[in-house]
């Protein structure tokens, strides 16, 4: 295996039984991804099926209130409602090219499950989704969507019954089904080569953003901001800007309810290095190395780990990682709805909340881009229950 | 020669298959775990594998996962296991192996782990989420104390990857008999015999077959040139103990 690490983070910590299929994915990345045929087919799917390119939307009202220029990268407008489809179309196409006929995937909020089911249906592949029973209950509409798209949805009853346990179960399923099946991993985490593969497929977000802002203003942004759960929308936005020293890059973790010692989903700020789900990264864990349950109001951020490249970018200081609490994310959700007519996902609301809560960090007239990674339709129940209409 | 290899060779010289029971720490509860371990030792176990519980055991099926969950709920820690092992140093005739996932070992500190394990007469470790590519740092720390890092190979491990492991491994080779997690199965896939033959050709170490074993009759159909030197049983033993059976009774079935 080559380039499995980002500094001291990453690697490939999986049972030997999963090494052959992971090496197969690595070989496909080397042999298939760079071919013109693959690029043309993926480009066609992203354009004609998923709806790329997505707009870069200026926010006139909020910009006036904040005193700097706020832009949103509109991944919420993609088919199935979030950036996840960039990754699933790419992985499904890659899997089909190496002869796989089925996809297995985990899902937390259900967005990755829906995006995987859609890609599988479009490409004529079988699809099985593992989802924690907690998440099945709180994201019921997405379970219906997955089933309508032809996927089998397995409710996972082990552990904390959320995303982390869904990943455990999907990895187990992949051991026995690897001959016919690709594991369509949903975020830029997991064992090598997934962090690199998912970054590659999600980097379309950052590449488009860069050329769109250059076209509109002639300049690079002063700051770019994205929420970080596993970190796929964030690394997709960040990757094309990492070499631009003048662009401030901010990742936003979910602080949960916010009181000291509360359950949260902020392993970069509040965790410690360790190994889970195939990679060495920052984790929420106790002193004995047992993984702690995470919490966030947004199911898509509710994960005790984070992609290994984020752990490295945090350590080197290239990216700053802040935290936003549940109630601040909700407030940002409502403010964007009313001010700009856009209903953001609660995940993306964390990124927006960081900017709204720290306006002093951004110079007057600077350009700040927030990745609006998904739309909020899936979160209506949660928002209504939380009140403050 | 590592102690574990010697134990299996000794059994083979006696014309029998070496027996390797697996028991999750604290199973079935705090008061019965150590007596059960002693009973396994007295009933002819050549090596005993002790499962160190982890919150996210991806290579395990439902029985071992549940045992792991119960242990954690009862407050079992690696620190506690090491302390109790040290107190029982020299009690066991069988070789001792700790089997667990990497993160609890990492947080314990690898150097301290190796020191404490050596002091407690632990002869080897099985760490299912550490494949060859990630094994070097662990292997070196263990090797300096004469402790083996046991390799796992499966039905999909080709000769080439087996050679990587063969060049570096000690103790024995754990041959995983199913393309799946731990847990009892009724039959073996025909590839199991092929895998044992392949492993026999590549490794000079003894071969232990595990995952999915329920009873000794499962081995009878194996062709002579594809018989393992040792068998590992976990889930079947846990289920037997959980339903009130004794360790000695379970071991008798295999002798």
Domain positions in chain A are 5-46+84-198, 51-81+203-385
DSSP A46: I
Report yes or no: B133 at the A interface, CB cutoff 8 Å: yes
CA distance B84 to chain A (A): 16
How far does B24 lie from chain A, in Å, by closest CA?
Answer: 16
pLDDT on residue A389: 52
Question: Is B157 in CB contact (< 8 Å) with chain A?
Answer: yes
Beta partners for residue A9, in sequence order = A6
**Mutant choice from B59, B163, B176 vs A, greatest count of A C-beta within 10 A:** B59
Q: Is residue B67 scored above 80 in pLDDT?
A: yes
Q: Does A27 touch chain B (CB under 8 A)?
A: no
d(CA A354, CA A364): 17
Task: Please state the rounded mean pLDDT for residues B93-105.
Answer: 98
- Tell me how close the Cα of B145 comes to any Cα of chain A, in angstroms: 23
Looking at the annotation, which residues of A are catalytic? 59, 83
Per annotation, catalytic residue among B46, B60, B65, B116: B60
Distance from CA of A338 to the nearest CA of B (A): 42
Query: CATH classification of A5-46+84-198 is 3.40.50.1100, yes or no?
Result: yes
Contact (Cβ atoms closer than 8 angstroms) between residue B211 and residue B174: no
Q: Which residues of chain A are under the pLDDT cut of 70? A: 388-389
Q: H/E element holding A85?
A: helix A84-97
CB contact B28 to A (< 8 Å): no
Q: Give me A94's structure tokens.
A: 């890659």
Look at chain A and count its residues: 389
Nearest-by-Cβ selection for B55 from A20, A159, A175: A159
Q: Is B9 helix (H, G, I), strand (E, B) or coil?
A: helix
Contact between B188 and A185 (Cβ < 8 Å): no
The reported pTM is 0.97
| Domains A5-46+84-198 and A51-81+203-385 alike in fold | yes
Three-class HEC string of A322-377: EEECHHHHHHHHHHHHHHHCCCECHHHHHHHHHHHHCHHHCCCCCEEEEEECEECH
d(CA B249, CA B228): 23
| The predicted structure's pLDDT at residue A388 | 56
Overall fold of domain B3-252: TIM Barrel (3.20.20)
The answer to whether A223 touches A209, Cβ cutoff 8 Å, is no
Mutate to test the interface with A, among B26, B74, B133, B179 (most CBs of A within 10 A): B133
Domain extents in chain B: 3-252
Whether A217 contacts A70, CB under 8 Å: no
Per-residue pLDDT, averaged over B205-232, amounts to: 87
Please tell me which residue of chain A has the smallest CA distance to B71: A290
Q: Do A290 and B72 touch (CB under 8 A)?
A: yes
Report the share of chain B in percent with pLDDT over 90: 84
pLDDT for residue B224: 85
CATH level 3 topology of A51-81+203-385? Rossmann fold (3.40.50)
Q: A274: which chain B residues are within 8 Å (Cβ-Cβ)?
A: 103, 106-107
């Amino acid at each position: 295996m080559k380039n499995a690490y980002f500094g001291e983070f990453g690697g490939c910590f999986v049972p030997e039984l999963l090494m052959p299929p992971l090496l197969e994915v690595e070989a496909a990345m080397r042999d298939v991804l760079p071919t013109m045929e693959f690029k043309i087919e993926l480009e066609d799917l992203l354009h004609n099926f998923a709806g790329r390119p997505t707009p870069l939307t200026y926010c006139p009202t909020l910009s006036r209130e904040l005193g700097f220029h706020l832009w949103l990268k509109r991944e919420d407008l993609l088919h199935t409602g979030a950036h996840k489809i960039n990754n699933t179309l790419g992985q499904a196409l890659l899997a089909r090219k190496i002869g796989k006929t089925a996809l297995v995937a985990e899902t937390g909020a259900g967005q990755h499950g829906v995006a995987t089911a859609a890609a599988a249906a479009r490409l004529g592949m079988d699809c099985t989704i593992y989802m924690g029973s907690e998440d099945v209950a709180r994201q019921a509409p997405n379970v219906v969507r997955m089933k309508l798209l032809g996927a089998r949805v397995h409710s996972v009853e082990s552990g904390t019954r959320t995303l982390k346990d869904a990943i455990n179960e999907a990895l187990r399923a992949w051991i026995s089904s690897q001959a016919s099946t690709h594991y369509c991993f949903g975020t830029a985490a997991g064992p090598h080569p997934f962090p690199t593969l998912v970054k590659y497929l999600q980097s379309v977000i950052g590449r488009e953003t860069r050329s769109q802002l250059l076209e509109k203003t002639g300049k690079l942004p002063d700051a770019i901001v994205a929420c970080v759960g596993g970190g796929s929308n964030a690394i997709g936005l960040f990757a094309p800007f990492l070499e631009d020293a003048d662009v401030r890059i901010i990742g936003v973790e979910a602080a949960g309810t916010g009181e000291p010692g509360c359950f949260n989903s902020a392993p970069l700020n509040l965790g410690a290095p360790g190994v889970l789900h195939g990679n060495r990264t920052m984790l929420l864990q106790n002193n004995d190395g047992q993984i702690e349950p995470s919490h966030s109001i947004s199911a898509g951020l509710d994960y005790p780990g984070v992609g290994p490249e984020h752990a490295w970018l945090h350590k080197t200081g290239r990216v700053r990682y802040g935290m936003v609490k549940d109630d601040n994310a909700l407030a940002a959700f409502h403010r964007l709805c009313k001010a700009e007519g856009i209903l953001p996902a609660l995940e993306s609301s964390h990124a927006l909340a960081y900017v709204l809560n720290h306006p002093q960090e951004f110079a007057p007239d600077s350009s700040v881009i927030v990745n609006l990674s998904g739309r909020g339709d899936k979160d209506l129940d949660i928002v209504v229950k939380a009140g403050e209409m | 020669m590592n102690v574990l290899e010697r134990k299996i060779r000794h059994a083979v010289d006696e014309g029998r298959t070496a027996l390797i029971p697996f028991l999750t720490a604290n199973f079935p509860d705090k008061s019965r775990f150590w007596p059960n371990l002693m009973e396994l030792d007295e009933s002819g176990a050549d090596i005993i594998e002790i499962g160190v519980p982890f919150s996210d055991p991806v290579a395990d099926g439902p029985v071992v996962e549940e045992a792991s969950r119960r242990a954690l709920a009862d407050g079992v820690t690696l620190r506690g296991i090491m302390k109790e092992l040290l107190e029982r140093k020299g009690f066991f005739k069988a070789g001792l192996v700790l089997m667990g996932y990497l993160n609890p070992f990492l947080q314990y500190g690898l150097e301290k782990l190796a020191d404490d394990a050596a002091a407690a007469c632990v002869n080897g470790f099985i760490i299912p989420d550490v494949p060859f590519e990630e094994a070097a740092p662990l292997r070196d720390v263990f090797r300096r104390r004469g402790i083996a890092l046991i390799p796992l190979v499966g039905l999909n491990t080709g000769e080439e990857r087996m050679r990587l492991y063969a060049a570096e491994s000690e103790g024995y080779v754990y041959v995983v008999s199913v393309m799946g997690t731990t847990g009892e199965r009724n039959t073996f896939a025909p590839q199991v015999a092929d895998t044992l033959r392949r492993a026999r050709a590549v490794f000079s170490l003894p071969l232990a077959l595990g995952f999915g074993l329920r009873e000794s009759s499962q081995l009878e159909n194996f062709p002579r040139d594809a018989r393992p030197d040792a068998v590992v049983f976990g889930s079947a033993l846990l289920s037997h103990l959980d339903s009130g059976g004794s360790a000695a009774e379970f071991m008798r079935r295999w002798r």
